[in-house]
Amino acid sequence: MDNPFLNIFKTPFNAIPFDQIKVEHYMPALEEGIKEGLTEIDSIVNNNETPTFTNTIEALEKVGPLMELVSMTFSNLNLAETSKEMQALAQEISPKLSDFSNDIMLNLPLFKKVEVVYNNRASLHLNPEQSTLLDRTYKGFVRNGSKLNDEQKERLRTLDKEKSQLSLTYSENVLAESNAYELVITDVSELTGLHEGAIEAAKMTAKERGKENAWVFTLDYPSYGPFMTYSENRLLKEQLFKAYGSKAFKNNQYDNQEVLMQIVALRHERAVLLGYKSHADFVLEERMAESPSKVISFLNNLLDDSLSFAKKEFEELKAYSKSIGGPDELKKWDVPFYAEKLKKEKFNIDDELLRPYFKLENVISGVFETAKRLYGLSFVQRHDIPLYHKDVVTYEVKNADDEFLALFYADFFPRAGKRQGAWMTSFINQKIENGKNIRPHVSIVCNFTKPTESKPSLLSFDEVTTLFHEFGHALHGMCANGQYGSLSGTNVYWDFVELPSQLLENWCYEKECLDLFAKHYQTGETIPADYIQKIIDSSNFQSGLATVRQVGLATLDMAWHSNDPLSIASVKEFEMSVTSKMDFMPSVPETCTSCSFSHIFPGGYSAGYYSYKWAEVIDADAFEAFKEKGIFNREVASDFYQNILSAGGKEHPSILYKRFRGREADPKALLRRSGLVKEKV
């Protein structure tokens, strides 16, 4: 069988030939990549020369390029374009990758060589990036069991295999539940309140699913969100809310309660085996926050600063809903509807007023122009790059010197084989190899409002900020300019990785930026200045409630990963005990956030969900630097590019940030931006 992975790619920029890759190609290529990687490990171990940084640490960094290419391609497509065959194969691939990782990390002769180099570091005269690689490599071995005895190492192998397979099961259950549900409406009167775009999209979905004279709403957010926000049918909103919140919490074949309990138990046992009190202690050792106590203190301080605001905002919402004939008791499925009405009354603005100005293609042009004005980047669409789905669009990215910088894939619309949400990822990481700078291939994957038969894709303002957010991550990947792939781009501490993404969201609230792209899709009229002022004025609408909601999710994450799982009897009861202080409405028995909390169970944010708020503190402080000199100031942008975007993880993030800002981040910057404290005097 001719396997594309095993041949030289004859494509522009050495792009992955997605059009040639079939499911049956992955396993043979992966097995060949693992075989090559283990041979490279043997070469390092059997080298009779004294262990050095070059023949041990750098040699290790270069191990397994084929394995990495195959596994990254597979894992990315398993999220963005999966199938039953891909999901079945994932259950086979996952343990093989765990074994490969453990064959390296539990290789005692290899670790001894790494240890020799680490213990001699004072005499090596390493630059900061080399020093970081050495430190990360040594700690990687220790944190993955190199100092355990043989019996403990075998247990670690078992834990890692089981954990990776359970994570896949969790994700598949959430996807299956999402795909299985549909709200079918056949009576036009049940569409009251919904805007034309949402109705047309639902009609199109029904047609795609073979349902005539019907409208179908799903749990994909571009469908779910507008229905919850605008529908006047309270009973249907209750039904849809419960379906969304009960994903993988129905005591059926896709239930995640036992799955997540097993994941938590395995993570805890693994951490204890390695000498840590909890999984959170293990994770946070390699984060800016350093320890669970610091994270909990950080979250508690945020809660103290925002709780009173949130309570006032909720009381205002209750009073408002009653004043316009709303229910006696506000339920969770009522909140988006009345919040949107209150926002429109206070600021005379809503998503449907703004949507015509946010045609997807214009927003893309706007984010590209923002990157050009800040960093001199340019984006040229390519039609000769193989794609994994027809909806994907590909761009050649050039730097300010008109040199090739990166390949950029954009995948914007929901479909059955795609996970919900939005994320950035890489297919090929940047690194320098044999003196050549290998440039990255970066992708953003979203689930935006699809175009209909009569309208292009018109984004809500939330979707606009999501695009800027994920593009900020993409910039971090595209601008990478490090020596080593494992330290390049977004390979930084989790509580620092959100800085470039959250920082870029700030431009969405600036007239100077919005004027670049916010134009009416029919008339071409630039968004009126008073609309922009309304966006700015309403930006802190219910910011207290939003902060408390995020703190609640981060606290739930920390609770799952800093407690002994044996003390947890019920998933739902545990969740309620953790979040009740931050929840102003009665819990809905049918729903459970933990069962579809994909960020922390299969995702990489376990004991790290706090990082969104942590990075917000930093991004608010960073944006003040731009505001002081102009949001497109090239001097500030150049400093950010050099010290953050291109630097990746070559040094500790606190060092990089201080180099950019000249000091540590001011914690009050976030509170100032959120309107929770007074402006600077």
Q: Give the Cα separation of 455 and 77 in Å (integer).
A: 29
Cα angle 396-397-398, degrees, rounded to a multiple of 5: 120
* CB-based contacts of 612, cutoff 8 Å, min separation 6: 498, 502, 550, 554
Question: What is the bridge-based pairing of β-strands 393-398 and 404-411?
Answer: antiparallel
| Euclidean distance between CA atoms 610 and 173, whole angstroms | 25
Residue 505 among the catalytic residues: no
Of 299, 288, 681, the C-alpha closest to 495 is 288
**Which two structure tokens, joined as six digits, stand for 256?**
């995640």
Strand partners, 444: 410, 424
SS3 assignment, position 409: strand
Pairing of strands 423-428, 441-445: antiparallel
DSSP structure class, residue 145: T
Q: What share of the chain is helix, strand, coil (3-state, %, to 5)?
A: 60, 5, 35
Nearest CA to 471 among 604, 370, 620, 320? 370
Give every CB contact of residue 199 below 8 A, 6+ residues apart in sequence. Answer: 191, 215
Per DSSP, helices labelled H in 231-358 are 234-245, 257-273, 279-284, 292-323, 335-347, 351-354
Contact at 8 Å (CB) between 227 and 198?
Answer: yes
Cβ within 8 Å of residue 320, ≥6 positions away: 326, 338, 341, 342, 345
- Element at 557 (helix H, strand E): helix 543-562
Distance, in Å, from the CA atom of 261 to the CA atom of 16, rounded to the nearest integer, reads 38
Could you say which of 470, 498, 616, 651 is catalytic?
470
In 253-291, which residue ranges form alpha helices assigned H by DSSP? 257-273, 279-284
Query: How far apart, in whole angstroms, are the C-alpha atoms of residue 409 and residue 18?
Result: 12
C-alpha atoms less than 13 angstroms from C-alpha of 500 in its C-beta half-sphere: 33
Return left, alpha or beta for 290; rule: phi > 0 is left, psi -120 to 50 is alpha, else beta. Answer: left
Bridge partners of residue 436, in order along the sequence: 433
Catalytic residue numbers?
Answer: 470
